[in-house]
């Protein structure tokens, strides 16, 4: 193709080729010129070619000028005795496939502008190919969707090499449609299986791209809302799986399970666990199938274990899951570092939730209270101001544990039956001990800590003390609060004014003259 210099010249040349192809089938070979520009190294040139291909094949789809059915090989058709119209449609459909494959490659282009343009063109083809299918309907009401083309799109978004987070944010708008969301979930399952099969060590980039896409999928809450389709339909058939929320939930479950069954980077474990309780579990068809992932995450330790316990807690309480080691795992997370980590507030918020039931056995609650009291001996003041009310709340919820503070001559450190090294709270013998640590903290150097520890000296009030305002308390806030405290006001006293340095004025003068 002879090109005029500059982007404007290329645009005019492509425009002439486009008009020629659409005006006459005898000019079909001009498609090669348009597709050749798609391979150009000049970014402006192939961007114009993308726009031209979008208009060209969009028009051909609408006019029904692409072959419909199982596509035969180009060589077999062109050398055969079929009619000219059939040859033209098969030939043009092969050019359409070449164009789509090139657009799929451009989804990995370094320039976001190019990727965005290629995505827009491909999604236009998805919509038009859905409205004008290139496969034959097998029966009346048969649901047809361009699955292969859509797999190409999702495969480009889930690139193992290129960070596609920005492009995926653009793709989110298509997830508002029920049909594209349904097929995105199916295509994501295929993409994860393909990439994990091709790469012995899957690049972290792929996992990050996959999580970004999966976490953007949100299902409707009610059945009647499954009717907003990207590919417009004259009517919705009840036999279509895509029209039923139950099927969406089934595919949603398959998508997440196919992703979570693999070994993920630790950073992704945390991202998944942060959303599992409100964005994943409520939308699964069978939430208890998440048990394998959650127990695996629970063994990782630290913040990940805590977040995994939150998901397990939901399964236990809402879905009747049996998990006997739940409180043993939580008990194992209590160590001196828990007062210093950045997730301290979340830890104690969740621990308060996990221990909120009044039906927990006394020995279990006593073990948690005793472990926290022992750790409190070396905790900083900002943590103590939160953990001391936490322990008192445990005693309020479980009166049977108040024996821990009603042993006036209870054991001290050298004779304490409590075993701090025991991993099983049931075997720790905490209920035989006492909370002598709280009495020791009444002599703490910080007056507010001493005051908080002295609460056990009186009968505990029935209403619990909310620890929510104390969860985020920092040493800086305590310091600032202490600085703002006003000193004691002068106390008015009744007194006799001094009459002299050593006595009455007359006596002082007499002593002076006698000495002189």
Tens-place pLDDT, residues 13-28:
999 999 999 999 999 9
What pLDDT does 506 receive?
Answer: 52
What pLDDT does 222 receive?
Answer: 73
What pLDDT does 514 receive?
Answer: 43
**For 357-362, what is the mean pLDDT?**
92
What pLDDT does 162 receive?
Answer: 93
Residue environment code for 383-421, b if the CB has 16+ CB neighbours within 10 A, otherwise e: bbbbbbbbbbbbbbebeebbbbbeeeebeeeeebebeee
Above 60 in pLDDT, residue 504?
no
Tens-place pLDDT, residues 75-110:
887 877 778 899 999 999 999 999 999 999 999 999
Structure confidence at residue 512 as a pLDDT band (50, 70, 90): very low
Give me the residue label for tokens 């809402």: 318
Helix/strand/coil percent split, the chain, to 5: 65, 0, 35
Name which of 143, 123, 127, 135 is nearest 230 in CA terms.
127
Above 90 in pLDDT, residue 498?
no
Above 80 in pLDDT, residue 184?
yes
What pLDDT does 75 receive?
Answer: 83
Neighbours of 277 (CB within 10 A): 16
Above 80 in pLDDT, residue 444?
yes
Please give the residue that has the higher pLDDT: either 272 or 485. Answer: 272
Above 60 in pLDDT, residue 455?
yes
Percentage of the residues of the chain whose pLDDT score is greater than 90: 69
Tens-place pLDDT, residues 122-142:
999 999 999 999 998 877 777
Is the Cβ–Cβ distance between 373 and 334 less than 8 Å? no
Residues 352 and 354: their CA atoms lie apart, in Å, by: 6
Strand spans (E) along 339-378: none
Structure confidence at residue 445 as a pLDDT band (50, 70, 90): very high
**For 211-215, what is the mean pLDDT?**
97
Strand spans (E) along 121-171: none
Query: How many alpha carbons fall within 13 Å on the CB side of residue 333?
Result: 26
**What are the CA-CA distances from residue 371 to residues 333, 437, 452, 453 (Å)?**
11, 10, 18, 16
Above 60 in pLDDT, residue 503?
no
Residues 407 and 262: their CA atoms lie apart, in Å, by: 52
What pLDDT does 409 receive?
Answer: 63
What pLDDT does 486 receive?
Answer: 77
Above 50 in pLDDT, residue 510?
no
Is the Cβ–Cβ distance between 126 and 65 less than 8 Å? no
**For 447-461, what is the mean pLDDT?**
91
Give me the residue label for tokens 């055969």: 80
What pLDDT does 416 receive?
Answer: 87
Residues 52 and 36: their CA atoms lie apart, in Å, by: 12
100 Cβ neighbours under 8 A, 6+ residues apart: 122, 125, 149, 152
Residue environment code for 59-93, b if the CB has 16+ CB neighbours within 10 A, otherwise e: ebbeeebbbeeebeeeeebeeeeeeeeebbbbbbb
Above 60 in pLDDT, residue 483?
yes
Structure confidence at residue 477 as a pLDDT band (50, 70, 90): very high
What pLDDT does 129 receive?
Answer: 95
Residues 104 and 95: their CA atoms lie apart, in Å, by: 14
What pLDDT does 513 receive?
Answer: 43
What pLDDT does 232 receive?
Answer: 87
Is the Cβ–Cβ distance between 125 and 61 less than 8 Å? yes
Name which of 355, 365, 376 is nearest 404 in CA terms.
365
What pLDDT does 127 receive?
Answer: 96
Please give the residue that has the higher pLDDT: either 501 or 511. Answer: 501
What pLDDT does 516 receive?
Answer: 41
Tens-place pLDDT, residues 309-341:
999 999 999 998 888 899 999 999 999 999 998
Residues 349 and 338: their CA atoms lie apart, in Å, by: 13
402 Cβ neighbours under 8 A, 6+ residues apart: 395, 460
Is the Cβ–Cβ distance between 52 and 15 less than 8 Å? yes
| Mean residue pLDDT across the chain | 89
Q: Domain residues of the chain, as ranges? A: 265-321, 324-408+415-476
Name which of 141, 227, 234 is nearest 181 in CA terms.
227
């Amino acid at each position: 193709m002879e090109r005029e210099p500059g982007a404007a010249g290329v645009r005019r040349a492509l425009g002439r080729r486009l008009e020629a192809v659409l005006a006459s089938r005898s000019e079909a070979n001009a498609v090669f010129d348009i597709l050749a520009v798609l391979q150009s190294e000049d970014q402006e040139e192939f961007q114009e070619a993308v726009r031209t291909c979008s208009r060209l094949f969009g028009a051909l789809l609408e006019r029904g000028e692409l072959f419909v059915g199982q596509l035969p090989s180009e060589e077999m058709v062109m050398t055969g005795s079929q009619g000219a119209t059939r040859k033209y449609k098969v030939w043009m459909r092969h050019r359409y496939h070449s164009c789509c494959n090139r657009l799929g490659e451009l989804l990995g282009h370094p320039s976001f502008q190019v990727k965005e343009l290629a995505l827009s063109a491909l999604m236009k083809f998805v919509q038009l190919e859905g409205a004008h299918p290139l496969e034959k309907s097998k029966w009346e009401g048969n649901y047809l969707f361009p699955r292969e083309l859509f797999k190409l799109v999702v495969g480009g978004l889930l690139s193992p090499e290129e960070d596609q987070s920005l492009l995926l944010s653009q793709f989110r708008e298509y997830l508002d449609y029920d049909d594209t969301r349904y097929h995105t979930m199916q295509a994501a399952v295929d993409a994860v299986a393909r990439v994990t099969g091709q790469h012995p060590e899957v690049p972290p980039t792929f996992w990050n791209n996959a999580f970004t896409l999966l976490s953007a999928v949100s299902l409707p809450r009610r059945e009647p809302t499954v009717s907003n389709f990207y590919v417009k339909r004259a009517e919705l058939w009840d036999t279509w799986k895509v029209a039923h929320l139950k099927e969406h939930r089934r595919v949603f479950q398959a998508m997440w399970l196919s992703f979570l069954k693999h070994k993920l980077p630790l950073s992704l474990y945390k991202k998944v666990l942060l959303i599992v309780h409100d964005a994943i579990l409520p939308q699964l068809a069978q939430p208890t199938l998440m048990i394998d992932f959650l127990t695996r995450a629970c063994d990782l330790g630290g913040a990940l274990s805590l977040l995994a316990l939150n998901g397990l807690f939901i399964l236990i309480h809402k879905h009747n899951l049996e998990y006997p080691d739940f409180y043993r795992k939580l008990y194992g997370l209590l160590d001196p570092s828990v007062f210093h980590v950045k997730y301290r507030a979340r830890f104690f918020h969740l621990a308060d939730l996990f221990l909120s039931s009044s039906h927990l056995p006394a020995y279990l609650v006593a073990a948690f209270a005793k472990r926290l009291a022992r750790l409190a001996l070396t905790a900083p003041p900002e943590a103590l101001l939160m953990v001391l009310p936490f322990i008192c709340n445990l005693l309020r919820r479980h009166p049977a544990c108040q024996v821990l503070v009603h042993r006036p001559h209870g054991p001290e450190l050298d004779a304490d039956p409590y075993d701090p090294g025991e991993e099983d709270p049931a075997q720790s013998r905490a209920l035989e001990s006492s909370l002598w640590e709280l009495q020791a903290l009444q002599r703490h150097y910080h007056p507010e800590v001493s005051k908080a520890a002295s609460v056990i000296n009186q009968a505990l009030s029935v209403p619990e003390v909310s620890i929510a305002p104390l969860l985020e308390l920092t040493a800086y806030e305590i310091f600032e609060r202490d600085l703002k405290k006003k000193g004691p006001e002068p106390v008015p006293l009744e007194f006799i004014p001094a009459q002299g340095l050593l006595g009455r004025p007359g006596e002082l003068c007499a002593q002076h003259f006698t000495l002189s």
